[in-house]
Amino acid sequence: MVAEYWTVFPERPVFERKIHALLMSAREQMVRRKALLPGKKKTAAE
């Protein structure tokens, strides 16, 4: 993914939707990467 730079911030509702979408995407990527790690055992705390 190529970085996107904002020189002017959008209106607050648009900004909040974009930030939320970015956060959800990052969380999904973390889950996928964690699932692909070999030899990682789940503990009761997870």
Per residue of the chain (46 residues), what is the pLDDT tens digit?
Answer: 566 777 888 899 998 999 999 999 989 998 888 877 776 555 555 5
- pLDDT, position 12: 92
- pLDDT, position 25: 93
**Tokens standing for 34?**
């964690």
Largest alpha-carbon pair distance within the chain? 46
Which of 14, 20, 19 has its CA nearest to residue 4?
Answer: 19
- pLDDT, position 9: 81
pTM of the model: 0.58
